[in-house]
Chains A and B, each alone.
Chain A
């Protein structure tokens, strides 16, 4: 028990690290068991490639803010970001709350949120080889689109993707907490998903939006979940704009973190009251 009742800060960090590693290993082992499923999930995300075709075709006729080649790269980046930021925690929480499987988890001295988070991280690592080979295949088929971003850009991209994943996770986890009150949390997530795809820039880069829509969209949490990292990877975004987007991202992370914790506490009281 000493590891779970740490005394000093150092002990606390060591214990946390050990728990995180344990959860990651368990998650990774579980995910690799269903490798075939992972490949299919990776392939299921073909929408960016479909839109890539439609947008590059449209850009040869009209005047758009991005060149055809930039569009190809943008949608490839969207594909990569979608691969790295997939979140399904709501469905897991829904199953656990409705099936009463949450009860045994509550007996463990680890907040279930950590288990969910590490499962998601592990899935990312298990999926990486497939996603990477799809990208390589893409460049082999379409060598003109190949480009090497600078180390600085790439580093910023990776940090932003990690942040995007965190925000997406926090938003969905907050919605998942509604499972304690309603059986329709997944329908609410469906609405959230539509907004995410559209305002996030999966359907079209935000650069194409009319200024009025764009001004509103910029303050929502969605652009930072997809458009921001993709656009940063392409380069050419003013630093001030990136800084503002990052500020919005951090702000929403805080909001949803606090909201999810508050709802978790309130929901838990309700859960025990339900006795399910």
Chain B
């Protein structure tokens, strides 16, 4: 495999792995927990590095994961005291842990691979240099193996506990009442987010990993009404962002992870505008459509009232409609022609008369209102 292909595959795998737990973060409205976790894990990595003196030790992963879960625990303890609000608690805990990590790094570990740039943006471009060699056989980049393990972990967890995760996310009280311990599920999920953040950390850094956790699920949310489809779409969107981000970086000669995160944002805004049902354009169109419907209702109901009151027939003249409805002339003409088209009214000279169908429709509109 060429290094660039390896980078593309690794980037796609990172995006896919983040998107899966990301769906539940977005639906549980705790997206920013991923921000907290992805920063706080630095402290775990640094502390474990001092203990083991080895950057490739698996203990680094374990320490980082523990720090991630610890961040969630401490944040939630703070929230439970009801002295600080949720967003404040998140903003208090993780910068504290992150900054301790940064100080330790500056003070005692300058000159090693863990520099500030790497923490913020990761360096996926270097991933192909770190090979997994077993009995003299090159099995590809170590990062790819690591991410594959994390991906399979996430996938297995979500498939096995799909039903429980769905219930605990939609209705935690019922989940608890039925004996499904939503707290346990919550911490299991937070552990997975931590492990995922640790795995992704080296490749995309601690800030950009947040984009991969949140943007693909938020985009998928606009495209479907089914949880299972949302999971699949999130993964697919993550992969599209990864691949297009790689080529964007290639052409701009820019940081790959940064370009991936940029593409996450671009894809979100495209979907936000053009999504078939929840998109901005669709909603505008729907509102317009509703507006015509409403206008037709107003006209037919008005004609019905006139009929019932045996009011002065001069009311049924087009120009009078304009005065009564305070609609401008072209709009009135338009509404009338739409009503004629739908067979709600007929025009006799200057008079507008309801058809039987129009009369029934008007009566239904009154009942509905």
Q: Do A and B bind each other?
A: no
Residues of chain B having any CB pair with chain A under 8 Å: none
